[in-house]
Structure 1
Amino acid sequence: MSPALPYWRLSGFYFFYFSLLGATAPFLALYFDHLGFSAARIGELVAIPMLMRCVAPNLWGWLGDYTGRRLAIVRFGAVCTLLCFAGIFISQSYAWLALIMALHAFFWHAVLPQFEVITLAHLRERATRYSEIRLWGSIGFIVAVVGLGELFERISLDAFPWALVLIMAGIVISSCWVPNAEPQMRPSDPALGGFLKQLRRPGILAFYCSVGLMQLSNGPYYTFLTLHLEALGYARGLIGQLWALGVVAEIVLFLFMARLLARYSLRSVLLASFLITALRWLLLGNLADHLAVLLFAQLMHAATFGSFHAAAIHFVQRSFADRQQGQGQALYATLAGIGGALGALYSGYSWNSLGPAWTFAIASLVALAAAVITAIRMPEERP
């Protein structure tokens, strides 16, 4: 008999963790713009936390697999994230902010890959319920993005660091509420070999390459969408609601994800996600001044993040043995970090020189490249 699922404890952690993403994704670039930095400097500062995902998840993932103390790593990472980010109150110079972005991100990126393993360990054979827990992260994102959008409409963006510190404190508290669980060790197959040998199995490297490209294509969206919409005349409160709309679509998708995965293969779900993403970037780059088109493009976030992320988590779980789960999730986070950092950097340099339309067009081509790799290199699996 399966042990009782600590649904609300797990969901509470996702709520606060993705509330932090809801506070940073729409408003971090806006805050740096408020401090007077140029588009290129903003792109660099936003890229730094993403670059830390190239290093931190693999280090913490190996440590989690080696020691088995995943929850201790989650709690330690949460506390250090809060302490490091609090240094933002000391100075707002470019060099100091770059250091703060790097330090807090090193520990922040230790947290989620290990917590994903803990969640799946609690779920055991109920892994299809992952989306039901993860959707509370999307709800946290909505609460943060709408609440802070209204807050910054009324008061100065100087309140931004204080809001982040409060959310980080929530992550620390919720991590202490979660009970521990380790992956149930299935009988090992000697033919699987170690982590590197498993990476060479058909379709695995193609999947990770597509992950990196997908996150690269998200660069303009997460770095400059808020500034893009402000330049088109949208109010900050409405911009926050538009961000939230995308996450509402993501939540609805999560509710139906178990049925989709039962009917369609992971390859099919990923391929559809990439193609919809490519269309979305073209709409945002060229027709965002039309509110109806903008609303439709935000609803497409259900594929750009929702179906893509849920399918990716399931793919990693299926593809690696129990003792390599942490490293598999960490590599997923790492490739996402590399892609996201490159996306933030190229969009920072191209935003003023090429303009929003061409910047988003490049992102669309990158998403199409991910679709081609998935179609050609990933073998079809039965649902």
Structure 2
Amino acid sequence: MNVAARHSWLFATQFFAFGIVLPFLPAVLAARGLDAAEVAAVLALGSAVRLVAGPAGGWAADALGAPRLVLACAAAASALAACGLLLLAGFVAMLAVHAVLSAAMAPIVPLTDAVTTAAIRGARFDYGRVRAAGSVAFILAALLGGQAVARFGVDGAVALMVLGCAGAAVAALLLPAAPQAVVGRPRGLAAFTLPLRIPAFRRLLLVSALVQSSHAFYYAFGTLHWQAAGLGAGLIGALWATGVVAEIALFVWGRGLVLRLGPVGLSLLAAGCGVLRWGVTAVTADPWLLFPAQVLHAGTFGAQHLATMAVLGRVVPVAQAGTAQTVHAALGPGLAMGVLTLACGPLYEGAGGGGFWAMALLCAAAVPASIMLGRALSRA
């Protein structure tokens, strides 16, 4: 198995696990005896834990100089924690289990991005095509998870989650050893601030927060809005799938576009797609217009993600890559998404689908922020 295939397998296994966690975890918690308020409390605690645990995992990977080992341990710990969802029940137990599960899973994706972007410098493979394996696995997990729940109940989904996390642990151990980067290796708690001292990194945090968190209203209330507009479940599912398929298409075939536009051009593309996508979604529920708007997910998510990887790979030293990736995930899209998700409830109650205009405004604000990022990169 070549280097690119090993990294593809790592993305596929972890996103298979996430493809179970995101759609089915609330149902698992409800089946363990939690009411709606308790489910919300458990999920909220998980979000808070991830904001701290992600950067902590990245710091540990860099400080030890062993990102593969930390990544494998995090994935293995996630598999063990997920077993708790099978064995325990009740609010307090689920609160504890999900806190541990969230802490373990938090650094997995950003650390994978870190080790993959570092490997690209030597092996010269296409990040987008490798990352596409994760998106494909996410779709397959959602489909298989639904079948597992239908046949075995929620325990079937949890079993698939455990398998995905365990597979990610094995995949991490199968990665080729990277050269030990000693110079610039972070030491002590002050290491968390090292990426923040890089001007381009700070600008990237703002752009990522604006563009990626603009999906908050879509993730929280997109389905409810379309249901209220009379769209059926099958049609809504097809709309969601269209966005992910477009994202995969960009990852697989967009290398030429990435090379032509560069990170700043990709961020400007993402921002422009966001203004158009959320503007269309705000004013209509006509499927003939929504499907083309959903294709723009390739821009709003995919293009910005590729821009992020390009910037981090360019301005962050290899010895600080894990810390930078996890701090970016926590303080950029992670924190902004959490805050905006809370705000989306009152926004939807007051404006309905018109709340998508607020998301379009966030993307419009990302245009000058992207230009500022370009200026910082020109001085890097």
> Normalization by structure 1: what TM-score?
0.82
Structure 1 residue 159 displacement after superposition: 4.7
Residue 153 and residue 243 in structure 1: after superposition, are their counterparts in 2 closer, same or farther (change >3 A)?
Answer: farther
Counterpart among 320, 325, 333 of residue 324 in structure 1? 320
Counterpart among 364, 368, 375 of residue 364 in structure 2? 368
Question: Whole-Å Cα distance in 2 between the matches of residues 30 and 168 of structure 1?
Answer: 19
Counterpart among 288, 295, 310 of residue 299 in structure 1? 295
For 1:125-164, list aligned pairs within 5 A.
125-127=122-124, 129-149=126-146, 159-164=156-161
- Asked if the contact 1:121/1:182 (under 8 Å) is kept, the reply is no
Q: Which residue of 1 aligns with 2:16?
A: 19
- Asked if the contact 2:12/2:135 (under 8 Å) is kept, the reply is yes
Q: CA RMSD, aligned part only?
A: 3.4
Residue identity matched to 2:330: T
Structure 1 residue 255 displacement after superposition: 2.5
Post-superposition Cα deviations, 1:228-252, rounded to whole Å, max 9, x if no partner, equal 4455555555544433321211111
Q: Which residue of 2 aligns with 1:339?
A: 336
- Asked if the contact 1:52/1:105 (under 8 Å) is kept, the reply is yes
Answering whether residue 251 of structure 2 is matched by residue 254 of structure 1, we say: yes
Greater shift in the superposed pair: 20-29 or 243-252:
20-29
Counterpart among 165, 187, 194 of residue 168 in structure 1? 165
- Asked if the contact 1:80/1:107 (under 8 Å) is kept, the reply is yes
Question: Whole-Å Cα distance in 1 between the matches of residues 213 and 294 of structure 2?
Answer: 18
Answering whether residue 103 of structure 2 is matched by residue 106 of structure 1, we say: yes
Q: Which residue of 2 aligns with 1:243?
A: 240
Local SS of the residue matching 1:178: coil
Answering whether residue 112 of structure 2 is matched by residue 115 of structure 1, we say: yes
Q: Which residue of 2 aligns with 1:180?
A: 177
Post-superposition Cα deviations, 1:18-66, rounded to whole Å, max 9, x if no partner, equal 123333444555767888855x776655444433332122211111111
Greater shift in the superposed pair: 167-176 or 253-262:
167-176
Structure 1 residue 96 displacement after superposition: 4.4
For 1:53-64, list aligned pairs within 5 A.
53-64=50-61
Residue identity matched to 2:140: V
Post-superposition Cα deviations, 1:269-310, rounded to whole Å, max 9, x if no partner, equal 1122022123323333442x3222222222111012111111
Answering whether residue 226 of structure 2 is matched by residue 217 of structure 1, we say: no
Structure 1 residue 15 displacement after superposition: 0.8
Question: Whole-Å Cα distance in 2 between the matches of residues 94 and 284 of structure 1?
Answer: 37
Structure 1 residue 77 displacement after superposition: 0.4
Question: Whole-Å Cα distance in 1 between the matches of residues 280 and 153 of structure 2?
Answer: 31
Question: Whole-Å Cα distance in 2 between the matches of residues 16 and 216 of structure 1?
Answer: 25
Question: Whole-Å Cα distance in 1 between the matches of residues 202 and 254 of structure 2?
Answer: 24
Q: Which residue of 2 aligns with 1:6?
A: 3
Question: Whole-Å Cα distance in 2 between the matches of residues 282 and 43 of structure 1?
Answer: 29
Residue identity matched to 2:335: I
Residue 164 and residue 130 in structure 1: after superposition, are their counterparts in 2 closer, same or farther (change >3 A)?
Answer: same
Residue 286 and residue 80 in structure 1: after superposition, are their counterparts in 2 closer, same or farther (change >3 A)?
Answer: farther
Question: Whole-Å Cα distance in 2 between the matches of residues 357 and 334 of structure 1?
Answer: 28
Q: Which residue of 1 aligns with 2:188?
A: none
Structure 1 residue 316 displacement after superposition: 0.5
Counterpart among 60, 68, 73 of residue 71 in structure 1? 68
Question: Whole-Å Cα distance in 2 between the matches of residues 374 and 22 of structure 1?
Answer: 30
Greater shift in the superposed pair: 276-285 or 333-342:
276-285
Residue 263 and residue 270 in structure 1: after superposition, are their counterparts in 2 closer, same or farther (change >3 A)?
Answer: same
Question: Whole-Å Cα distance in 1 between the matches of residues 305 and 372 of structure 2?
Answer: 20
Q: Which residue of 2 aligns with 1:314?
A: 310
- Asked if the contact 1:185/1:322 (under 8 Å) is kept, the reply is no
Question: Whole-Å Cα distance in 1 between the matches of residues 67 and 41 of structure 2?
Answer: 31
- Percentage of pairs with the same residue: 27
Structure 1 residue 262 displacement after superposition: 2.0
Residue 169 and residue 230 in structure 1: after superposition, are their counterparts in 2 closer, same or farther (change >3 A)?
Answer: farther
Residue identity matched to 2:141: A
Greater shift in the superposed pair: 119-128 or 274-283:
119-128
Local SS of the residue matching 1:298: helix
Aligned residues: 371
Counterpart among 67, 88, 94 of residue 85 in structure 2? 88
Structure 1 residue 153 displacement after superposition: 7.2
Question: Whole-Å Cα distance in 1 between the matches of residues 213 and 184 of structure 2?
Answer: 37
